[in-house]
Every structure is written in C-alpha cells, then in structure tokens.
Chain A
Amino acid sequence: MNEHLPAAQQDVTLLELVDRVLNKGVVLTGDITLAVADVDLVYVGLRVLLASVATLEEAEPGAR
C-alpha cells in the first residue's frame, strides 16, 4: 500500500490482508479444503496491532 505509512500501520494492513484471504472470499460447495487456517491467531494479532496504532498516534498527533 503506502510505504510512507508508519510501521505499525503497515502491519495492520498486512493483517487485514491475511484476515481477508483466510477468512473472507467465496467458498463453493463441493470444493476440497487444502488448508485450515488458525483464525483466532489472526484476530489476536489484529487486536494487538491496532492497539499499537492507537498508542503510536497518541505519541505523534497529526501523523495520520
């Protein structure tokens, strides 16, 4: 996305991407599941990272 984003926000973007690819998207009946993702871990990671974004923005007002 944007290389000028703060590191924490880039991490959020990566986690949002992982969340989308693993947990959203179309699923057809009759397909074969090749992978089982650990959904909970993604959400835990997101929460931690989003909290760090909040901290970051408090430290740098107007950074966004």
Chain B
Amino acid sequence: MLYLYALSEPPTTAPDVPGLDDTKLDVERAGEIDAVVSVLDRTRVEPSEKAILDHARVVDRLAESNDAVLPARFGRGFADAAALRAAVAERAADLERALDLVRGCAEVSLRALAPGGGAGTPAGSGRDYMRARLGEQRRTQRLAGELHEPLAAIARTATKSVGTGSELVFSAAYLVPREAIDDFNAQVARLGGDHPDVTLACTGPWPPYSFATVEPGSG
C-alpha cells in the first residue's frame, strides 16, 4: 500500500524524516507532479496523535524545501504506483493549477471569539431574548467583515465562514505569500488592538492544507 503525504512541484527531494510506521519516504513522479509516499504494510491506519503528527512532519519538511506543496488528507493510499499515477493524471490540470495558487505561500488560520461565550443566556422575557439574539447576529456579521477584509487584502486568497455558534464570530484561513507573513501578523495584532472585546486565535504559518483542494469526482 502506497501512503500519500503530499503532492509537489518537481524536482522533489524526499524529506529526511520517517513516515508512518517509521517507513522510508519515496518520491513518485506522476507526469508533471511529484508524489511523496511511503510503503505501508497495512490497509488501515488509526488516526492516532502519533500518526497524525508523523504525517504533518513529512508535509512540514517538504514545504520547507519545496515552494509548491499540496498536502494530502490523512489516511489516503493507493494499491500501487500505477494507481497513484492514474489518479494524479485524471486531475493533472486541476492539481497544477492548485500548485500554482499555493506557490510561495503559507496558510494562516484565524478564529475570532466574542466575549461571554458559553456564559449562558441573559435572563429576561422571550422577546428580550430574541431581540438580543438578532442584535448579536448583526453585530457578528459586521465584526467578521471588519476583521476579515484587511487580512484578505494581504492574502492571495482566503476561505471564511461566519460563526453560527454563540462565541465563535468567524473562522478563516488565509493563503499568504511568505514575504507578507510579517505584514499579516502585524495586521492581526492591529485588529486585536482595535477590538479589545474580541479574542483572536491566530495559528500558523501552516502548509496550505485548506487550499489543497480539487473538486472531487467531476473530472
């Protein structure tokens, strides 16, 4: 079983770290795309913390040495190299486009939390409650826009979802050119200062997991 960690732009050097089950990493060329894989002896992988971190380490190392990397989702494999090449060939154009998009970029994740999350609902009549809820929703939409727009302007592209939960205002992932990461972090800090009532949980830079997508099954 060939376990897939990531796709990348050739030439690719296999990272010098072990894969899952301490396996050795290999690079399989599939047309104009490289696949970083290792041979596993089994057909099932438990999503244990160790296995997840092993997968992530391979992707991290690869992203350090290769400008255009598409991380693969955990737990995907192929019967053999021929099956892998066929799967890549089927989506080659989409994958090359995705590699172009992420080239030179890293992903930064942001979650914004409003105060009082999980603190319960205010006492009062049903009408007061509904009014409070409506006001809260409008405020959430506006706040999400105020936080998102200046960051999206720095990013090459972004995904964003406005929170439906009580405390999460919104969550977003930004694809940021590496040279703009400092600007981006400064902007996050500025937004945090402008909105002392909001907690910004910013993580990254990550390899571009959230932007390694091709539409499944339409090709």
Which residues does A use to contact B, with CB under 8 Å? 1, 9, 12-13, 16-18, 20-38, 46-47, 50-51, 53-54, 57-58, 64
Contact = CB atoms under 8 A, between A and B. Distances in A.
Given A24-B212, A26-B72, A51-B118, A34 B44 contact: yes
Contacts of B165: 47
Contact of B72 (A1, A25, A37, A58): A25
Interface in B176-219: 192, 199-201, 203, 206, 209-210, 212-214, 216-217, 219
B121 interface: no
Given A34-B3, A34-B43, 13 more contacts: A17-B53, A20-B210, A21-B73, A21-B74, A21-B209, A22-B73, A26-B70, A29-B90, A31-B77, A32-B77, A34-B45, A34-B75, A37-B47
Contacts of A46: 111
Most buried by B among A37, A50, A64: A50
B113 interface: yes
Given A21-B52, A24-B212, A26-B70, A31 B78 contact: yes
Interface stretch (B11-19, B81-89, B140-148, B150-158): B81-89
22 contacts: A17-B53, A18-B52, A21-B209, A22-B73, A22-B75, A24-B210, A25-B71, A25-B72, A25-B212, A26-B7, A26-B71, A26-B95, A27-B216, A30-B87, A32-B78, A34-B42, A34-B45, A36-B47, A38-B47, A47-B168, A51-B113, A57-B199
Contacts of B31: none
Given A25-B71, A34-B45, A35-B75, A53 B199 contact: yes
Interface residues of B, number: 59
B168 A50 contact: yes
Contacts of B7: 26
Contacts of A30: 78, 83, 86-87, 90
B45 to A, nearest CB: 4
B76 interface: yes
B52 A32 contact: no
B43 A26 contact: no
A29 B1 contact: no
Interface string B54-78: 0110010000000000111111111
A31 B4 CA distance: 9
B113 A54 contact: yes
